[in-house]
Amino acid sequence: MNETVVEIQNLKTYFETDKGFNPAVDGVSMTLESGRIMGLVGESGSGKSMTAMSILGLIPKPFGQILPESKILFEGEDLTKLSEKELSKIRGNKIAMIFQEPMTSLNPVYTVGKQLMEPLRLHKNLSKREAKVLALKYLEQVRIPDVEKRFASYPHQLSGGLRQRVMIAMALTCEPKLIIADEPTTALDVTIQAQILKLLKDIQVRLNTAILFITHDLGVVAELCDDVCVMYAGEIVEKCDARNLFEAPLHPYTIGLLKSLPKINEDVEALYSIEGMVPNLVNTPVGCRFAPRCDNAKAICFNKLPPRIRMATQHEVLCWQYDERAWLDE
């Protein structure tokens, strides 16, 4: 029942900067399946948002380029090769996006209802009345209380949580195959975040869509996602299902990240911390990008790019530690 919705192969998105090229996304491959939530975790600057932007073809063109060997397959078509016009048919229709700050994507001068009805009338050729009935239905689906009143509200009159619900309703209107959620709960309080996560899970179960959930919060991943990709400096360093990631993490970065997380359900005497910082991608370190911060780094880690190793069937890691060749030098 889980069919492949989007397959990303070797995605490379490079940006030009004053000082050279910034490989913001460098060789990312992943498969998004219907009925599954893929978590894309990483710190700021790891390229997780740029991956999403690349899928939607929203890379600002003069600065950013998707390199020709990249492939993003969606319904048999390569999204990287489509024209802007063809893309805009898919974007916001078959693939919907939810942003961190809904205020930037909602137009402040129109009511919520008007903004919801517009795509319905446009894509589905509905009359005003039909569109309103449908829009109200979507608002109810995202459990907005007092729908009639909210239908006539302007975005600024809503709280952050409600706005995010409206955004989700808007994403649903086009019955998308894939929903890309870029840090949708980061700007919200924890109690509201819990509500939104529950809503997303319900919707995903009911509509059997694929969701690409981008976040920096490992806790949210653990609560929500089925599969996880951990990104570091433009690369996916570890990919597996969520349970595996937390129970048996393989990549030193993931291990460090999990150890540096303060816990609410236990007392921690001293937190582990990964020293150093995310590398400057313009001057990418030769070899493993994490090597300068890695406690187990060996000579080879600084010399050669690490291999992508598939441990169990679904557990991939980008690290020399798990390759016997790394031990031959010793």
Interface residues for other proteins in 237-296 (CB under 8 A)? Answer: 242-243, 246-247, 256-258, 260-265, 267-268, 270-287, 291-293
Answer for which of 5, 8, 11, 22 binds other proteins (CB under 8 A) is: 22
Q: In the range 115-144, which residues lie near other proteins by CB under 8 A?
A: none
Q: In the range 55-114, which residues lie near other proteins by CB under 8 A?
A: 56, 58, 60, 62-65, 67-69, 92, 97, 99, 101, 104-105
- 35 makes contact with other proteins (CB under 8 A): no
Q: What is the 3-state secondary structure (H, E, C) of the chain?
A: CCCEEEEEEEEEEEEEECCEEEEEEEEEEEEEECCCEEEEECCCCCCHHHHHHHHHCCCCCCCEEECCCCEEEECCEEHHHCCHHHHHHHECCCEEEECCCHHHHCCCCCCHHHHHHHHHHHHHCCCHHHHHHHHHHHHHHCCCCCHHHHHCCCHHHCCHHHHHHHHHHHHHHCCCCEEEEECCCCCCCHHHHHHHHHHHHHHHHHHCCEEEEEECCHHHHHHHCCEEEEEECCEEEEEEEHHHHHHCCCCHHHHHHHHCCCCCCCCCCCCCCCCCCCCCCCCCCCCCCCHHHCCCCCHHHHHCCCCEEECCCCCEEECHHHCCHHHHCC
Answer for which of 7, 9, 29, 43 binds other proteins (CB under 8 A) is: 43
Q: Residue 64 or residue 74: which is nearer to other proteins going by CB?
A: 64
Answer for which of 73, 82, 87, 194 binds other proteins (CB under 8 A) is: 194
Q: Residue 73 or residue 278: which is nearer to other proteins going by CB?
A: 278
CA distance 163 to 202: 18
Q: Residue 33 or residue 101: which is nearer to other proteins going by CB?
A: 101
For the bound state, the minimum distance from the C-beta of residue 4 to other proteins, rounded and expressed in Å, comes to: 23
Answer for which of 4, 157, 296, 303 binds other proteins (CB under 8 A) is: 303
For the bound state, the minimum distance from the C-beta of residue 147 to other proteins, rounded and expressed in Å, comes to: 15
For the bound state, the minimum distance from the C-beta of residue 35 to other proteins, rounded and expressed in Å, comes to: 17
DSSP state of 160: H
Q: Residue 129 or residue 192: which is nearer to other proteins going by CB?
A: 192
For the bound state, the minimum distance from the C-beta of residue 67 to other proteins, rounded and expressed in Å, comes to: 6
For the bound state, the minimum distance from the C-beta of residue 169 to other proteins, rounded and expressed in Å, comes to: 13
| Range in contact with other proteins (rule: CB under 8 A) among 28-36, 126-134, 205-213, 222-230 | 222-230
- 15 makes contact with other proteins (CB under 8 A): yes
